[in-house]
Amino acid sequence: MSRDDPDFPLGLGSKLFCDLTQSWSNVGGGVRTYMLHKRRHILEATAHRHLMIIPGSRDEVIEEDRAVTVTIRSPRVPGSPHYRLMLRNGAVREALDHFQPDLIECQDAYNLPWAAIGHRSRHPDATIVAAYMTDFPTVYVERPLSRFIGGAMAGLLGRICYRYCGSLYRRFDAVFALSENGGASKLRAYGVPVLGIVPLGVELGEFGPQRRDAELRRKLGLTDEQPLLIYVGRLDGEKKPDLVVDAFRRLPEELGAKLVLIGEGPLKEDIAALADPRIVMPGYVKDRAALSRWLASADIYVSAMADETFGISIIEAQASGLPVVGVAAGAMLDRVTDRIGRLGPVGDADAMAHNLLDLWNGDIGAMSDRARALALEYSWDSSMEALFGQVYPQAFAAAARRRTGLAAPVDTVLAEA
């Protein structure tokens, strides 16, 4: 493919794009899914090269033609054994200096952005982009600390973290979010000019109501008149599957409902200790065909996660024809309306149980059709088109203006856009 090919994204030429993240797990996760789809897009649809710098069990460099993966030896995150803390910024800087990427996209707000910023200070031709993938001031500061030090003090600390985000992200050439309520509006409130919103995608061909498996439901002892609820994700304090379980156990027994929790995490043992035969935990389902059967065979998707920045699992559920019961916060506000589900207060198991009953007793078939129709608007092709056709070209333009000192990096691009 030549750089004059009309399908080539906005004349970017052949460049090396780098993804730099802590949020990497070998057993799934939204950031990993996004990065792998980006790599596939780069290799199959462009002449670019792709570099991933991720945490791992050892230092290693794997070069495969136009795809390079650098793993940095990193310890496991306590309580989340599938994730690692990539704290060795020196090793990250060495990798960046060696490969000299044209554009670095960082999906974290902790130490790694400073490695990217430091690299750009040494190599001003580099363009740095921030993706707001995790709403950490709320997820990891305000909500968990409020249980120990009270809401007022936790809220203050959360606002301090958001001010840190403002100071950090204003240093980047471009910043994008995954949804309006899951990040963009919060960043703008702290003075970060968000270049755009790049929603993640779903493999629409993998999910759909046609994958419903009557035999699977029969093995669970369910008739068509008995609801099967499902949750997919980590079983940890951030995702709040324990609240989903609490809401489920408040449903009347005569409803005959069952709950499937797909995933692994530190809360799995606590949930298993309830010894509730109505709760099924298959573990982490790696096979996508099996996951699609589980989703399509259920009736309602349930999530208590209040701070999703996008919510891939929600879109996959909707693509499977499932209405969603969740909480009125974060990206859920962008993904779920009363026409395709129900949202309730954060942390309220009673309200969630009420919404489950209300949805089940309503026109669930019509909601299923509308949920599927909404999910069809999301695809990885659209995501990559937004990223390579809009965000990255404008980021390169902003970086060029930064180097000439004509204007602040992102503000100029936004004004022109």
**CB-based contact 395:198 (threshold 8 Å):** no
For the beta carbon of residue 94, count every other beta carbon within 10 angstroms.
14
Residue 5 pLDDT > 80, yes or no? Answer: no
**CB-based contact 311:336 (threshold 8 Å):** no
Maximum separation of any 2 CA atoms in the chain, in Å: 70
The model's pLDDT over 315-363, given as tens digits with 9 standing for 90+, comes to 999 999 999 999 999 999 999 999 999 999 999 999 999 999 999 999 9
Question: How far apart, in Å, are the Cα atoms of 29 and each of 80, 134, 367?
Answer: 12, 12, 27
pLDDT in the model for residue 12: 55
Residue 227 pLDDT > 80, yes or no? Answer: yes
In a 13 Å sphere around the CA of 386, the CA atoms on its Cβ side amount to 15
What is the percent of the chain where pLDDT is above 70? 94
Distance CA 171, CA 128 (A): 9
pLDDT in the model for residue 213: 96
pLDDT in the model for residue 205: 82
pLDDT in the model for residue 353: 98
Distance CA 161, CA 389 (A): 32
For tokens 């779920």, name the residue.
Answer: 336
What is this structure's pTM? Answer: 0.84
Which domains does the chain carry? Answer: 9-201+379-416 (3.40.50.2000), 209-375 (3.40.50.2000)
Closest to 381 in 3D by CA, of 32, 116, 13, 37:
37
Q: How confident is the model at residue 81 (pLDDT cuts 50, 70, 90)?
A: confident
**CB-based contact 198:391 (threshold 8 Å):** yes
Tokens of 62: 């794997």
